[in-house]
Amino acid sequence: MKKTIYVLLGCLLSAAAMAETYDVTANWTPVSLTNAGATLTYDLQYRVNVGPDTQVDNIPADTWAGQITANPGDSIEVRVRSDEELSGDTVNSAWTTYASATGGVCLVVPSVPGALNINVQCQ
C-alpha cells in the first residue's frame, strides 16, 4: 500500500513541475459604440484545457497582455466581449467564440476571423 501512495505522489509532483508560465497577448477588432456618450470596456475570459474560466474585467482598450500557467501541450483558450456603460446601466455583447493556442508552442497566432487573435510566447 505504501508503494502505491509514493508512486502516485511522485507522479503528481512530476506533473506539477512541468507547468510553465507563458506570456499571452490577445487583441481584437474594436467595436463601435451604439450609444453616444457611453463608456466602452471589454471583458476577457481565458481557460486552460477547458478548465474553469478566469475573467478579467474592464479592459479599457482592444488588447490584453498577461501570464498564464499551463503545461506544455495544454490548450489555452481566450474569448472577449464588449461592455457599454451609460448612466450606470451596462449592456454586454455576446462572448466571442474561443480562440485557442497550445502551451509550449511559441508565437502561435490563431484567430476568430476578423475578431480575436491571441499570441502565446515562451519565456
CB 43 within 8 A of CB 58: yes
d(CA 107, CA 12): 29
CATH of segment(s) 20-121: 2.60.40
> What was the pLDDT predicted at 121?
63
C-alpha cell at 71: 503545461
Would you give per-residue pLDDT tens digits along the chain (123 residues)? 444 333 333 333 344 557 888 888 888 888 888 888 899 999 999 999 999 999 999 999 999 999 999 888 888 888 899 999 998 898 888 888 888 877 666 545 545 555 666 666 655
> What was the pLDDT predicted at 7?
36
User: In 3-state terms, what secondary structure has residue 97?
Assistant: coil
> What was the pLDDT predicted at 41?
94
- Write down the pTM of the prediction: 0.75
> What was the pLDDT predicted at 33?
85
d(CA 26, CA 119): 6
CB 112 within 8 A of CB 99: yes
> What was the pLDDT predicted at 117?
66
Burial 62-87 (b: 16+ CB within 10 A, else e): bebeeebebeeebebbbbbebbbeee
